A and B are shown apart, each in its own frame.
Chain A
Amino acid sequence: MITTIVKKECSLYFRNLNNMFLPLIFFFLIISIFPLVLGPEKILFDKIIPGVIWITSILTTLLTSNNFFKDDYNNGIIETYMTSESSVELILFLKIILCWIFTCFPIVIFIPLVSLLFDIPFQISLVILLTLIIGTPVLISIGIFGSALTLGLAKNNTLLPVIILPFYIPVLIFSASAIEAVSVGLPYGMQIYILLAFLFLVLPIMPYLLKYTLGISINN
């Protein structure tokens, strides 16, 4: 049962390659808009590029998690999950992980390229990579929670960011501060540990919360 679901999800992502590449293209578009708007001075970019990368990843995760359950809901698959014998929490957990692998992981892979574009030193780009690897699963799962909340609504395109963005703030603060710390040569271990704490707090709880939310959303 579980392997079937994983196979199904993977083949869905592979068949509709838009799902995989659209976030990546979106990410690059937004990133390359910043120099056009702010001017190409290097000193400015050394200061703001971590923030720019993080803001862009927020927008990308919002984009991908917006209609996360929509297709499954319209097809009636979620009801099937909820009534199935195998554990719903595990399925939801796998769905979160797969969503991260297929939408955020490509961005993480392309961070070295972004570092080349903006001439970011190796040490700093390594920390950016690390914060993205730890932080984006948290953002994705919070975004998916938001999409479960707004599942019963017909149009929810701008609603989700309004609801969800305040919950992103702690992750953003600690990621940005880790990058800032390494760029001025300070230790950044503490921020990384706190990000890890967020990750290990959110990931195990989220499937249970999602199951409960979906239960409410479906029963209307």
Chain B
Amino acid sequence: MNISKIANLKFFYIKTQKISFFLSIFTLVLFIIGIYWGLYIAPEDYLQGNSYRIMYVHVPAAWLSLQTYIIMAVTGFIALVWKIKIMEITSIQCAPIGAFFTIIALVTGMIWGKPTWGTYWVWDARLTSELILLFLYVGIIVLYSAFNDKRQAVKITSLLAIVGLINIPIIHYSVEWWNTLHQGPTVTKFDKPSAHITMLLPLLYMFIVFNIYFLTVIIKRVRLGIYMREKNNKWMEEYLND
């Protein structure tokens, strides 16, 4: 199939209507299986008891939060260089999804932290850089909503996302360095006493499910973005009237 055809907004909007519907159901089923696997089948942890099971949401959400940022920056780069409309929409629609993954990772991390560390929040390197990632997402969303001209806004936010992507490793490593300087490895040291394969398999599965979930949501959001941009066009009216 020709790539320029997929990039056509009208083509994408019409073709993905059914796909998006089936993907939603597919994701729901996969999620139910994953939750059952993680919460019932996977064995209990000898150190943390049952509380470790929140990992099956927390860890994939944390991975996806970073991955979404990378996708946002890469699609933003493509949008800036080749001026492909659908990439512009994809790039900006990644931001709220990524922000939500970040919030999920932070909140589940806090819930997990209470029984294992005894406190909801420590200024640990990973928590802090996740929080900063949330600030980066919020900055992009706020900047986008401040503009009236949305095409202009996408160009600006893509640029910010690219600069942010270059900055994320720098921020991450400086925060990590700051953390080792300030507090000894008291809290997070026991994090990885290499988990058993029966625990890791559901985690891998949940990571894949989260990716499919991301795909579902991004398709839905891109369709929404196309609708917002093209709602006054003739083909959209004709299509919706059918």
Which B residues touch A123, using CB under 8 A?
A: none
CB atoms of B174 and A150 under 8 A apart: no
B204 neighbours in A (Cβ, 8 Å):
none
Chain A residues, Cβ within 8 Å of B170: 170
Interface size, chain B (Cβ < 8 Å): 25
Is B175 interfacial (CB-CB < 8 Å)? yes
Given A153-B146, A166-B136, A209-B163, are A217 and B156 also a contact pair (CB < 8 Å)?
A: yes
Name the interface size band of chain A: 20 to 34
Chain B 141-182, CB within 8 Å of chain A: the 1/0 string? 011001101001001100110011001001100110110010
Q: Which residue of A lies closest to B137 (CB)?
A: A166
Chain B residues whose CB sits within 8 angstroms of the CB of A217 once the complex forms: 156
Contact indicator A163/B132 (Cβ below 8 Å): no
Is A173 a contact partner of B143 (Cβ separation < 8 A)? no
Known A162-B138, A163-B142; judge A153-B171 contact (CB<8 A): no
**Residue in chain A with minimal CB distance to B138:** A162
Question: Which single residue of chain B is at the shortest CB-CB distance from A146?
Answer: B160
In the bound complex, residues from chain A placing their C-beta under 8 Å from that of B181 are: 177
Q: DSSP class of A's interface residues: helix, strand, loop or mixed? A: helix
The secondary structure that dominates the B interface is: helix
Name the one of B136, B149, B156, B175 contacting A149, with C-beta atoms under 8 angstroms: B156
**Would you call B143 and A159 a contact (CB within 8 A)?**
yes
For the complex, is B40 an interface residue (Cβ under 8 Å from A)?
no
CA distance A149 to B156 in the complex (A): 6
Q: Which residues of B contact A162 (CB under 8 A)?
A: 135, 138-139, 142
In this assembly, does A220 line the interface, its C-beta being within 8 Å of a C-beta of chain B? yes
Chain B residues, Cβ within 8 Å of A164: 139
- The residue in chain A whose Cβ has the minimal distance to the Cβ of B152 is A220
Say yes or no: B159 contacts A149, CB within 8 Å. Answer: yes
Distance of B208 from chain A, by nearest CB (Å): 30
Which residues of B does A touch, CB under 8 Å? Answer: 132, 135-136, 138-139, 142-143, 146-147, 149, 152, 155-156, 159-160, 163-164, 167, 170-171, 174-175, 177-178, 181
In addition to A153-B147, A162-B135, A166-B135, 19 A-B residue pairs with Cβ atoms within 8 Å of each other are: A152-B149, A159-B142, A162-B139, A163-B139, A163-B143, A163-B160, A166-B167, A166-B171, A167-B164, A167-B171, A170-B167, A170-B174, A173-B174, A173-B177, A177-B178, A209-B163, A216-B152, A220-B149, A220-B152
User: Can you list the 6 inter-chain pairs with the closest CB atoms, starting with the nearest?
Assistant: A163-B139, A170-B174, A220-B152, A173-B178, A166-B135, A173-B174
